[in-house]
Chains A and B, each alone.
Chain A
Amino acid sequence: MSLKAVVILTAVIAGPPVTVGTIATQTPAPSDLEASAARLEAAVLAEDANGVKAARIGLLRQLPAASDPARVALLRYTAAYAGWRLAFAPAIPAGEKQDLLDDAETQLKETIKLSPAFAEAPALLSAVYGAKIAQAPDLGMTLGMQASAMLAKAVGLGPNNPRVLVLKAMSLFHTPPEYGGSVREAEAVFRQALTRFDQEGARAPWPNWGRFDAHVWLGQALAARGDKAGARNEYEKALAIAPRSNWVKLSLLPQVR
């Protein structure tokens, strides 16, 4: 049974939580995870770092009261996802980014322990290692190999998972070619991911992030090989998902006009 199926089943049978009256001790309904994740993704797409921070803390608050391993795993994964996103927010201080990535690593390792078959956790952990290397290149020697191993593990577990494919393609895009990166191969994997997103559908339960990333990074892969029209097309599709993205509007699109 997939993790997502376990989460849905848990949500159905768990029933409403006992409310003690304070925000601190509230045990959110299972659907709160979906609601928190939806708020989180909305903040991500709106480039609202404060919103992402608030959503992440909301997810962490749910952890002490959560007992079902699958739900705990998904909570930890989602909190790690939020931390990973924040690690690229310009307004977050460098020290806080490092704490966020450290925490994301811890949460994802726990997720992998709780749900060893969940492909997205090692894929995201690989991306977290990549983010750590980007912030402190000294770490490349040790974390580089671990990032590769985690990504290989994720691809083995979920070769058709669209988020695994997006993270694999992002890794291919950012890795120097002499270390196995390839913009051309990244482009192919981004397209493969978009096909899988189409199959997954727009109303898929959480985790369902990544379609925006696939378009926006495919656009950059196309721009890198000189296909400005193709890049523009992908950026327009990304903007249709995230109309408030200043990154796309003010930075990426002007480069291919």
Chain B
Amino acid sequence: MTHLLLAAAVTLAAVQQLPPLQVTGEVVDPSGSALPGAVVSVRGTPAIVVTDDRGRFTVAATMPATLVVEMPAFTTRTVQVAAASASIRIVLALQAHSEAVAVRAPVIDSPPDARVILRPIDVVRTAGARADLMRALAVSPGVVQLDEGAGLFVRGGDVSETTVLLDGVVVSHPYRYETPTGGFRGAIDPFLTQGITFSTGAFAADVGNSLSGLVDLRGQARPTIPRVSVTAGLAGVSAMAAVPVGGKAGIRVAGNRTTPSLLFAVNPSPREFDWLPGGWDVAGSAHLDTATRGRARVFLLEQRDHVGVELEKDAFVGFLHSNAEHRLVAASWLRTVGRDWNLSASAGTDAYANTTDVGVLAVTSSDRTGSARLDAGGRLGDWRLRLGTDAGTIRADVTGHAPERGGDFGGVSGVTSFRSAHRDWRTGAYGEITRRWGAVEPTVGLRADYFDHPGVFRADPRVNVTIDWGARGRVRAAWGLYDQAPSPRYFDQAHGAIRLAPMAATHYLAGYEAGRFDGAAYLRLETYAKTYRHLPVQDPVVGFRDDGYGSARGVDLFARRVWHYIDLRGSASWSHARRRWTSPEQRDRYPLPDGTWAPDFAVPFTWQFLATVPVSRTASVNLGWRTAAGRPFTPALGGVATDSGYEPVWGTINSERLPRYERLDLAASVTRTIGARAAAIFFVAVDNALARRNFFEYAYSADYSARHPVSSASPRSFYVGCSVTR
């Protein structure tokens, strides 16, 4: 190996020391006439010559070389030269006639009016997020955490009520290692995106089929320079490459493979695994940008995940085996029309197949969603307008058998076959208009949707008013109606619903903000109230009815201060949520009282503090501390003996609350440049540094006479890695 490296170094040195060769040529116009005065330079070197009166030139260049040929009124041309040749003939095309065009110093676009805006680097800098996009969003104000997963429960809404879009295409499975509370981590690598916008309520009319939150991901732009990065850490290895193709196209590819054995060797789990969580994913995107036809991008993602883990649920102890395949395709196109209008279109599919086997539950599911959108936005005088249409389809099939009573993996209360073949589609149209009058900027929007399965139309007006308040402050008030089709899981053929109306919500929001979210000082205080209608509720006769309802209200406070490179963020959220609602996984699990009760995600308070402190120009330490009230749970009061075991006697649904959740996460990173074009980042993280024993569930003895907390994660975990980019 040493000899090989030495040989390579000697060869490289020999190549570098090759004397330059004289390259000769002539520059002509399309008619063949000589172009005197053209400037010929050798890219990356100071060598410059000018063509003579016969259009000829001679320049010294080390092979291979790229010549750049420039001439006023002609299109600049680059020519690759691999070896000295007799003479090169370079034809310059006439530049298309154009008016004088604006030339100016850098302009940075203002961020859109959205609640939380993250860049990929922000995801990495968030302590405890483990470089995961959804985990980084989970520490946003208004989001409650139910467990150590990445699920986003937004302002009194379930995780299924937050829609994730990638370039306008619906990502129907945004989590990996899916669980009823979301999943272990996000499906999309943050470095495959150029930015993330997260709205926690009262979002605009262009968003349909979403009840609580919106995560809007924008895919990476066309690469203009070749880049390669390789990352290796305790949890896996990954690589990314970006390759420009000509001046208008480019491709990006990325691959990732998890290596769980190393991670679990360093951080032993309290749970046993007979199949360590693992998997791989590959992603790629192709880009084409043209001046006349706009920018087009196609994104592809293929993922495989598996896990075999010990599970404790109620009085059941056994292994859960899960195997998932995920494929996402998203195509988008954007074109500027005239000075003030943008046209965009997107279409894509998300296909997911999963087998889950735990106790008496054994199901095979597959679903495929499709979505498409056409959008036009721009200016008419002082008015800003947005018009568009979107549509979505779903084909979901589930077969297998499941416990008669939700969560009864031991099958004490019986087992039933489960079969579902749900087909649905939805289409909608929207319009929105905005105008500023002095300090006041109202936005009025309306969207109309048709939901095919229940066969109903919904019209959702949405209004937002922003008023400038003081030099840097704004007051915002918003109101809107929102609808979302229920999960296909409600429609199994044996016990499920036949028809359910779209779930509906009304959002009321009032708040004040000062500064800019990405500025040095920012403060936001928002109060919200929501009412829910047509929520699915279990029914002994028809499976589920759609007469559930509920409400949520709360206050979110967020503050950010950056000074002397120290970035401090703090948030506090208080919320109160009540619902009469049954999630598909909890069918027939608990006896339902009259009226409403606190849903699993009714967490009254969440406080969080994040800090990034530089310790040198190239090193920083990140800290994250968060605490929250424990989630509500339903206590088992005892057990009743049956022929097949003990059936639990449940107390009032969600009448007790788990202990307070708290954790402190620490992370540090050091950046080192390698030559002029490469850099390495070394990172280390300690999650739950104080080893607090948080838990999110109780398990019970076989007769339900005693209970104990379920520990699902290592009390404290370490992570190290390195990423090299060139």
Contact = CB atoms under 8 A, between A and B. Distances in A.
Interface string A78-118: 00000001101111111110110011001100100000000
Contacts of A43: 103
A42 B337 CA distance: 29
B105 A145 contact: no
Given A57-B71, A98-B225, A103-B68, A48 B100 contact: yes
B106 A174 contact: yes
B103 A47 contact: yes
A99 B76 contact: yes
A145 B671 contact: yes
A184 B102 contact: no
Question: In the complex, which of the residues B41, B102, B223, B470 has the most CB atoms of chain A within 10 Å of its own CB atom?
Answer: B102
A119 B182 CA distance: 55
B98 interface: yes
Interface in B31-48: 36-37, 39, 41, 43-46, 48
Contacts of A54: 72-73
Contacts of A99: 43, 68, 76, 78
A102 B70 contact: no
A90 B101 contact: yes
Interface string A145-174: 110100000000000000000000010001
A148 B73 CA distance: 36
Contact of A93 (B49, B104, B247, B679): B247
A80 B43 CA distance: 14
B649 interface: no
Contacts of A201: none
B136 to A, nearest CB: 15
Interface residues of A, number: 76
B471 interface: yes
Given A25-B53, A142-B725, A177-B567, A60 B102 contact: no
Given A60-B70, A106-B44, A141-B725, A247 B224 contact: no
A102 B516 CA distance: 33
A52 B101 CA distance: 10
A9 interface: no
Interface in B85-119: 95, 98, 100-108
Nearest to A138: B227
Contacts of A10: none
A85 B106 CA distance: 9
Contact of B36 (A22, A94, A148): A22
Interface string B217-248: 00000111101000000000000001010111
Most buried by B among A22, A53, A141, A217: A141
Given A24-B51, A183-B519, A224-B516, A48 B617 contact: no
A89 B107 CA distance: 10
A4 interface: no
Contacts of B519: 177, 183, 224
Given A51-B100, A130-B106, A136-B225, A142 B676 contact: yes
B708 interface: no
Contact of B103 (A60, A76, A89, A137): A89
A64 B472 contact: no
B673 interface: yes
Contact of A142 (B68, B121, B291, B678): B678
Interface string A225-246: 1110000000000000000011
A15 interface: no
B725 A138 contact: yes
Contact of A96 (B46, B242, B247): B247
Main secondary structure of the interface of A (DSSP, over half): helix
A121 interface: no
A213 B36 CA distance: 36
Contacts of B80: none
Contacts of A130: 106
A51 B565 CA distance: 41
Contacts of B671: 141, 145
B562 A178 contact: yes
Which of A61, A88, A213 has the most CB atoms of chain B within a 10 A radius of its CB?
A61
A182 interface: yes
Contact of B101 (A49, A148, A176, A178): A49
Interface string B555-569: 000000011010100
A240 B679 CA distance: 45
B242 A138 contact: yes
A201 B388 CA distance: 54
A204 interface: no
A21 B224 contact: no
B518 interface: yes
Contacts of B103: 43-44, 47-49, 52, 85-86, 88-89
Given A85-B103, A90-B102, 9 more contacts: A47-B101, A60-B39, A91-B101, A103-B43, A136-B224, A137-B194, A142-B679, A177-B567, A225-B471
Interface of A: 21-25, 43-44, 46-54, 57-58, 60-61, 63-64, 76, 85-86, 88-96, 98-99, 102-103, 106-107, 110, 130-131, 134-142, 145-146, 148, 170, 174, 176-184, 213, 216-217, 224-227, 245-247
8 contacts: A21-B53, A50-B100, A53-B72, A85-B104, A94-B289, A99-B76, A142-B676, A247-B102
Interface of B: 36-37, 39, 41, 43-46, 48-53, 68, 70-73, 76, 78, 95, 98, 100-108, 121, 125, 194, 222-225, 227, 242, 244, 246-248, 289, 291, 470-472, 516, 518-520, 562-563, 565, 567, 612, 617-618, 671, 673, 676-679, 681, 725-726
